[in-house]
Amino acid sequence: MNYANIKNWEEYQHYRDRCPPWIKLHVKILNDKDFTALSCASRGLLIQLWILASENEGKAPINIEEIKFRLRDNSIKEKDVNLLIDKGFLLDCKQTQADASKRYSETETETETETETDIRFEKFWQAYPKKKSKGQAEKAWLKIKSNEQLLEKILSTIERATTSVEWTRDGGQFIPYPATWLNAKGWEDEYGKQGDGAVDDNLFLQALAEQDKKRGIS
């Protein structure tokens, strides 16, 4: 066989129908007796094979020449790969295909949702001017069940709000905490820009002073 399935691939997979250049690794791998029993060289080879498997739905190449070429390492021997097969880290594709496909399908949706939710929250966090109580903000973000369309609306509203009378007054003193803003659905509010129909107190007082000056009132 030219390819082998990765043992417990669902623990290292990323997104179905995508091939971004990363895999998942969890700290519990350090407590895996079989993994820690491997030499450092074997661990390194296995992790590199995991990365190659991410390109092919959890199937790693086991042809020694292909591995040498992909990893740019001519020192790899066939016995090194066979050791990983013997230890059960690389499995026969035919025996595991059905189970792996089922587990992969069941875990993908949750993983993708969690990852993309994290990415959207970070975009919100970077855009929001008052970076306070991030943990509470993350909890509020999860409650709104965001998608890309809602994120765009939130970001565009924040962009308008950052130049508004409400948020620029007194050096941004009245900008709400991010969790408060999210819980109140602040993206649905309207924000008035200075010079856009909204009146700033300082500008109003300056205008009155100018009028008094013209009338000779000191």
Give the domain-ending residue among 70, 105, 140: 105
Are 86 and 5 within 8 A, CB to CB?
A: no
Domain count, the chain: 2
Q: Is residue 99 part of a domain?
A: yes
Which is more confidently placed, 15 or 151?
A: 151
Q: Is residue 111 part of a domain?
A: no
Query: Same domain, yes or no, for 97 and 150?
Result: no
Are 59 and 3 within 8 A, CB to CB?
A: yes
Q: Is residue 124 part of a domain?
A: no
Query: Same domain, yes or no, for 137 and 95?
Result: no
Mind listing the pLDDT tens digit for each residue in 55-83?
A: 777 788 889 999 999 999 999 999 999 99
Query: Same domain, yes or no, for 9 and 54?
Result: yes
Are 9 and 53 within 8 A, CB to CB?
A: yes
Contacts (Cβ under 8 Å, ≥6 apart) of 115 = 15
Query: Same domain, yes or no, for 87 and 11?
Result: yes
Closest CA to 125 of 166, 158, 169, 164: 158
* Domain interval for residue 11: 3-105
Are 179 and 137 within 8 A, CB to CB?
A: yes
Mind listing the pLDDT tens digit for each residue in 148-193?
A: 899 999 999 999 999 888 888 888 888 999 999 999 999 998 886 6
Query: Same domain, yes or no, for 74 and 153?
Result: no
Q: Is residue 167 part of a domain?
A: yes
Query: Same domain, yes or no, for 97 and 140?
Result: no
Query: Same domain, yes or no, for 96 and 8?
Result: yes
Angle, helices 40-53 vs 64-71, to 10°: value is 90
- With pLDDT > 70 as the criterion, what percentage of the chain qualifies? 68
> Is pTM, for the whole model, over 0.95?
no
Query: Same domain, yes or no, for 14 and 97?
Result: yes
Q: Is residue 115 part of a domain?
A: no
Query: Same domain, yes or no, for 146 and 91?
Result: no
Query: Same domain, yes or no, for 72 and 149?
Result: no
Query: Same domain, yes or no, for 50 and 91?
Result: yes
Mind listing the pLDDT tens digit for each residue in 120-144?
A: 899 999 999 999 999 999 999 999 8
Query: Same domain, yes or no, for 7 and 90?
Result: yes
Q: Is residue 81 part of a domain?
A: yes
